[in-house]
Amino acid sequence: LPVVAIIGRPNVGKSTLFNRLVGRRIALVDDRPGVTRDRREGEATVGDLEFIAIDTAGLEDAEEATLAGRMRAQTMSAVEGADIILFVMDARVGITPEDEYFAGIVRKAGKPVVLVANKAEGHGGTAGAYDAFRLGLGDPVPLSAEHNEGFVDLYQALNAAIGHEPPEEDEDEEDDGPRGPLSIAVVGRPNAGKSTLINRLVGEDRLLTGPEAGITRDSIAVDLVWRGRDIRLVDTAGMRRKARIQDKLEKLAVSDSLRSIQFAEVVVVMLDATIPFEKQDLQIADLVSREGRALVIALNKWDLVEERAGAMKRHREAADRLLAQVRGMPLVPISAATGEGVDRLMEAVLQAHEVWNRRVPTARINRWLEGVLEHHPPPAVRGARVKLRYMTQTKARPPTFVLFGTRTSVLPESYVRYLVNGLREAFELPGTPIRLTFREPK
């Protein structure tokens, strides 16, 4: 029989769920001393599904002082021995940092997960159940273990999980472990000055000077430390161009950028400030946004620009108008040749990275949503009333939101844009692509 481990922080109702699943059959309590004492096992059924349920809830009576460590050890070992994980959260409380901690353990296991939003009797926990989306463990099943509600949905979810692929692991997800280098790509049209900037950052010409410099076409990366921060300059056209046939460059610039963009967290789109915002520049920037990367625009060759204040104002306006999908993006004038502005560019890169990683608490998002609905509700479309109910951020890198409501498919594009721009302003997310998707609640 498949082994299903019931995991979650204390008091979410794991024992109640366990008892419900195992029913009258006597749970086998392992009496050996040590960790195993904390766990109960029993043969469980939901509909015609049979499995071994493991409950880690015995821990809830443990002494405070030792609880955290034992809970962790117990959860780890239960997860390890399980085929499927039943992750329980409390729909009346919503997601707590402790839930996130346990969810982190579960995500790393890469096993199929059924997420249960417990205590959701009588729709009482609707908001909390939606909140559970942001654990990144899939769609929550609202349930009341105590009132015996929602078990048909649980049956379906378990059925799907048995013999199901493990959930996609979100490798981008941050954890508390050591962080790798921040990866940056520098892209842009030929002659924008990419190589010059990279040389300046790397501090020597060794990699880029000659056609025989040993640059291979695959996976070029240069590591450097900038103000104590580990930076990896990933495969960029500027690093490869010297090894390439020059006359193909113009055509290749956009498609070539894609590869670099996909390797990077933050992408610096380099423009030649004397001829900025050409079609190809915009295409490249749009690609960065569509790939969901953090974007910073460098206006290079600033040393050649006269009347800088006026130029900056014009460029700012042009950028926000022509690249409205990433409005407010950092726009940094630099001279790669003289080094002027390069420090500020790197500051902007770090900051863009931070924005791209930002997580907005669900409560704040919904306070904001309430205001939106009051002052600028969605229009009725052909008599259909769209109802927007609840919003949560499901992911960072880039910030990704889910909005629950009914008939959201008829929302006009302009209203969706309004929402995205509103999120951008309310939660200070300039320049980063923002993903917004809609869901109909069950």
Tell whether residue 335 is a contact of ligand GDP (CB under 6 A): yes
Applying CB under 6 A, does 56 fall inside the site for ligand GDP?
no
Q: Which is nearer to ligand GDP, 192 or 231 (CB)?
A: 192
Tell me which stretch binds ligand GDP (CB under 6 A): 119-127, 151-159, 185-193, 400-408. 185-193
- DSSP β-bridge partners for residue 185: 267
Binding-residue pattern over the window 280 to 319 for ligand GDP, x denoting contact by CB under 6 A: --------------------xx-xx---------------
Q: Does the footprint of ligand GDP cover residue 276 (CB under 6 A)?
A: no
User: Which one of 232, 241, 395, 397 is in contact with ligand GDP (CB under 6 A)?
Assistant: 241
Other beta carbons within 10 angstroms of residue 179's beta carbon come to 10
257 touches ligand GDP by CB under 6 A: no
Please name the amino acid found at residue 366.
Answer: N
By CB under 6 A, residue 15 contacts ligand GDP: no
Which residue in the set 294, 336, 365, 386 belongs to the binding site for ligand GDP (CB under 6 A)? 336
Task: Determine the residue with CB nearest ligand GDP.
Answer: 193
Q: Could you say whether residue 202 binds ligand GDP (CB under 6 A)?
A: no
Report how far apart, in Å, the C-alpha atoms of 393 and of each of 23, 117, 292 are. 37, 17, 15
**What's the token pair of residue 153?**
């949905």
Binding residue (CB under 6 A) for ligand GDP from 86, 129, 185, 192: 192
13 touches ligand GDP (CB under 6 A): no
Smallest separation (angstroms) from ligand GDP to the CB of 260: 12
**Helix 342-356, helix 194-202: angle, nearest 10:** 90
Interaction between residue 213 and ligand GDP (CB under 6 A): no
What whole-number distance in Å separates Cα of residue 252 and Cα of residue 26? 69
Of residues 113 and 284, the one with the C-beta less far from ligand GDP: 284
Binding-site size, ligand GDP (CB under 6 A):
17
How distant is the alpha carbon of residue 288 from its chain centre? 16
Q: How far is the CB of 318 from ligand GDP (least distance, A)?
A: 20
Token pair for residue 52?
Answer: 């071994």
Among the listed residues 125, 136, 142, 238, the single contact to ligand GDP using CB under 6 A: 238
**Distance in Å, CB of 84 to ligand GDP, minimum:** 52
CB atoms within 10 A of CB 343: 13
Contacting residue, 118, 196, 393, 408, with ligand GDP by CB under 6 A: 196
Using rule CB under 6 A, residue 236 touches ligand GDP: no
What tokens does 317 get?
């306006």
Task: Report how far residue 224's alpha carbon sits from residue 234's, in angstroms, rounded to the nearest whole number.
Answer: 11
Nearest CB to ligand GDP, comparing residues 54 and 253: 253
Does residue 240 belong to the site contacting ligand GDP (CB under 6 A)?
no
Sheet holding 229-234, edge to edge: 221-226, 229-234, 182-188, 266-272, 294-300, 331-333
Residue 397 to residue 437: CA distance in whole angstroms: 15
Residue span binding ligand GDP (CB under 6 A) among the ranges 30-38, 142-150, 188-196, 346-354: 188-196
**Interaction mask 76-105, ligand GDP, x per CB under 6 A:** ------------------------------
Residue 393 in the binding site for ligand GDP (CB under 6 A): no
The CB-of-280 to ligand GDP minimum distance in angstroms stands at 12
Asked if 215 is part of the footprint of ligand GDP (rule: CB under 6 A), the reply reads no
Q: Which of 167, 193, 276, 333 binds ligand GDP (CB under 6 A)?
A: 193
Choice between 89 and 239, CB closer to ligand GDP:
239
| Contact positions vs ligand GDP (CB under 6 A) | 188, 190-196, 238, 241, 300-301, 303-304, 335-337
